[in-house]
Chain A
């Protein structure tokens, strides 16, 4: 296996980060880390906070870059080749085309039991990834048992 993709959703899902690094190291694979600025999420957050959508998107993007660079630090400490990507749009569409274009062989994604609508929505994203992404998907349960 040469290429592993880690979909970074938030800084809380570090178990999946560790798993992706560990796998990349043991398989001598390159690790691609991807953060997506989901426009739907931007709208929701800005509405909730009463802030401007552009400012909210900027804030989410910068936060995304921080997650990516934290991941990179960890990966580099483990001698893993890493490339960082930040994209905007629908997560399913972006991940699906990313996997195809870069011939990714494994997608790693963290899963944390959420509550309410957000929890349901994230669960739905995971289901859609399994259904539509043309490579195996490893779902790493976050936060222990």
Chain B
């Protein structure tokens, strides 16, 4: 389910980043540069709106910012690994090292929920989190995701 949405171009590895919105902007820009979206702002606006209501930081160093918007035609998934960690204003107050950005069209609610549920379930596995945190390349990350996406 997840691997069909991802490829190496949609995986970012960064050393550090100033704040969570800067990172999300970088992730959205990646889809823009790949021609998957036409403009960045409507997506950023939706994500900001959602993050302002409550941070989507999940426990154990992982955040899954997500939103639905008419600004996308297909469900988008972008993964980022932040080597030095990032303050995502998570409920547990701990830094986030892995971010899964999910943006879906308004009419793709079922698929959107299924993808969120699958990623959340995968992220609860310690082996998955450790492997991702230690990964050094996009191909390695893709391989790990494929392995756990069952």
The interface of chain A, by Cβ under 8 A from chain B, is 30, 58, 61-63, 65-66, 68-70, 73, 76, 79, 81-84, 86
Contacts and interface: CB of A to CB of B under 8 A. Distances in A.
A43 B58 CA distance: 27
Given A58-B121, A61-B121, A73-B109, A82 B54 contact: yes
Given A76-B50, A76-B53, A83-B54, A62 B121 contact: yes
B54 A86 contact: no
A99 to B, nearest CB: 16
Interface of B: 50, 53-54, 58, 91, 109, 113-114, 116-118, 120-121, 124, 150
A74 to B, nearest CB: 11
Contacts, number: 39
A70 B113 contact: yes
A69 B121 CA distance: 12
Given A61-B124, A73-B109, A66 B50 contact: no
A69 B91 CA distance: 17
B110 to A, nearest CB: 9
Q: Interface residues of B: mostly helix, strand, loop or mixed? A: helix
A137 to B, nearest CB: 23
28 contacts: A58-B121, A58-B150, A61-B121, A62-B121, A63-B117, A65-B116, A65-B120, A65-B121, A66-B113, A68-B117, A68-B120, A69-B113, A69-B116, A69-B117, A69-B120, A70-B113, A73-B109, A73-B113, A76-B50, A76-B53, A81-B54, A82-B53, A82-B54, A83-B54, A83-B91, A84-B58, A86-B120, A86-B124
Contacts of A86: 120, 124
Contacts of B124: 61, 86
A58 B91 CA distance: 24
Contact of B118 (A62, A79, A84): A62
B114 A66 contact: yes
Given A62-B121, A84-B120, 5 more contacts: A58-B121, A68-B117, A70-B113, A73-B113, A86-B120
Nearest to B118: A62
Nearest to A82: B54
Contacts of B116: 65, 69
The 7 closest A-B pairs by CB, nearest first: A65-B117, A66-B117, A65-B120, A81-B54, A62-B121, A69-B113, A69-B116
